[in-house]
Amino acid sequence: MPTSQADKARAFRALHERSQAFLIPNPWDLGTARILERLGFEALATTSSGFAFSRGRRDYGMGRDTVLAHCREIVRATCLPVTADLENGFGDDPETVAETVRQAAAAGLAGCSIEDSTGRPEDPIYDLQLAADRVRAAAAVVAALPYPFTLTARAENYLQGRPDLADTIRRLQAFQEAGANVLYAPGLSTREEISAVVQAVNRPVNVLMRFRECSLNVAELSELGVKRVSIGSGLARVAFGSFLRASTELRNDGTFNLAAGAPSVREIESFFDE
């Protein structure tokens, strides 16, 4: 298993070069990272919303320093390569994005993703030229590193209520030209949309499969040419959903039925070192 940051970065990049897609789950704390490693996954990705929820905050409310500190904790908790959800790079201008990616590499990560979402509801997506310049600035930082740090560029149209496939493809093509290593348009859900994106670019494509929309499995996504499959906040929401249901039952009914499916303390401890 790779141990140095350079080895992890090379191993992570190699996962994208296989004929079959690999599944990358998203832990939100040290315990979930270690469990996912013990279960046999090959790489991990942070989740901005899952992490925020674990701190009692809304998504996009944590700030760069806190997020990168969390990334360092996850990197130290596992021997697996870790890529980070760094939202929009924590600033509008390319210089800020470049500095965020520089700090991400210094945190020991094998890669990171940068969105083209502004965080402003009235104007949710950056102008295409600025969005591409932001990716280009990040790619310049990556190119200067002595190992293959993997930069993922995200086109956020679908998650921002703009299901414009043609514009999404234009954006991904611009991000490819700007130097992104992996392309990602979260919110695609149909075979036709995913296939159109894969065929329109010549970089590995990451697809987000949200649990309520998982009509395709990893093998079927591989057949479409997808190289990486992530689930974002999916596992965190499943965990919080179970917590909410059990807590609501306790509060409203005073019964303990939902506890029947919970793992024992010993089962959980079996994933952790002494």
54 neighbors 260 (Cβ within 8 angstroms) = no
pLDDT at 260: 76
pLDDT at 50: 95
pLDDT at 83: 98
**Torsion angle (degrees, nearest 10) of CA 141, 120, 212, 218:** -20
pLDDT at 8: 98
pLDDT at 206: 98
pLDDT at 274: 56
Strands 150-154 and 182-184: parallel
- For residue 86 the two structure tokens come to 């760094």
Structure confidence by residue, pLDDT tens digits, 200-243 = 999 999 999 976 666 799 999 999 999 999 999 999 999 999 99
pLDDT at 228: 98
- How far apart CA 227 and CA 6 sit, in angstroms, is 21
Helix/strand/coil (H/E/C) assignment for every residue in the chain: CCCCHHHHHHHHHHHCCCCCCEEECCCCCHHHHHHHHHCCCCCEECCHHHHHHHCCCCCCCCCHHHHHHHHHHHHHHCCCCEEEECCCCCCCCHHHHHHHHHHHHHCCCCEEEEECECCCCCCCECCHHHHHHHHHHHHHHHHCCCCCCEEEEECCCHHHCCCCHHHHHHHHHHHHHHCCCEEECCCCCCHHHHHHHHHHCCCCEEEECCHHHCCCCHHHHHHCCCCEEECCCHHHHHHHHHHHHHHHHHHHHCCCHHHHHCCCHHHHHCCCCC
Mean pLDDT by 10 residues, the chain (274 residues): 90 97 97 97 97 94 96 97 98 98 98 97 97 98 98 97 97 98 95 97 95 80 97 94 92 85 90 80
Domains of the chain, CATH where assigned:
5-232 (3.20.20.60)
Burial category of 39 from C-beta neighbours within 10 Å (exposed 0-12, middle 13-18, buried 19 and up)? exposed
pLDDT at 189: 87
27 neighbors 161 (Cβ within 8 angstroms) = no
Which residues are 111's β-sheet partners?
A: 83, 150
